[in-house]
Amino acid sequence: MEDKSRVGTKWLEEEDNELKKELEEHKLDYEQIAIKHKRNVSGIEARVISHIIYPKYLNENIDLETLSNYYDIDINIIKRRIAKIEMKPMKERTKERTKEGLEGINQKLDIIIDLIKKLVKE
């Protein structure tokens, strides 16, 4: 059975560098890379998309089809993962607004509780 002890753990900078080198040399397929890194294939692909393909797509204006062919990852998988990446900031903003809203409600509840306590004392 394959050792997948690094599945779900934070990627180290050294591991990212190894991954980039392995991909540039085109000597290993994703299954071999996954075994070497003790991760699963989908984790390797996700990392390639988020840390290699997506930056190239944004910063170097390389189209997704070209990147899909070069890195041998289905274009639909790339598009879904990029959509998740781009949704993340929106989710963070929503969480922040919800937190602010709850804090406002809690402050109002504290005021109401204080008023009730004063009324009960009178």
Q: Containing domain of residue 87, as a range?
A: 13-94
Confirm whether 76 is domain-assigned.
yes
Confirm whether 112 is domain-assigned.
no
Confirm whether 75 is domain-assigned.
yes
Confirm whether 113 is domain-assigned.
no
Instruction: Determine the pLDDT at residue 67.
Output: 96
Nearest CA among 35, 41, 37 for reference residue 2: 35
At 86-118, the pLDDT tens digits run 887 776 766 666 777 777 787 888 888 888 888
Residues 41, 31: Cα–Cα separation, whole Å: 6
Which pair of structure tokens corresponds to residue 70? Answer: 């070069």
Query: pLDDT tier at 1 (50, 70, 90 boundaries)?
Result: low
Whether residue 82 has pLDDT greater than 80: yes
DSSP state of 50: I
The model scores a pTM over 0.85: no
At 4-24, the pLDDT tens digits run 888 889 999 999 999 999 998
Residues 52, 72: Cα–Cα separation, whole Å: 13
Confirm whether 5 is domain-assigned.
no
Domain count, the chain: 1
Confirm whether 67 is domain-assigned.
yes
DSSP state of 74: -
Confirm whether 49 is domain-assigned.
yes
Residues 96, 80: Cα–Cα separation, whole Å: 25
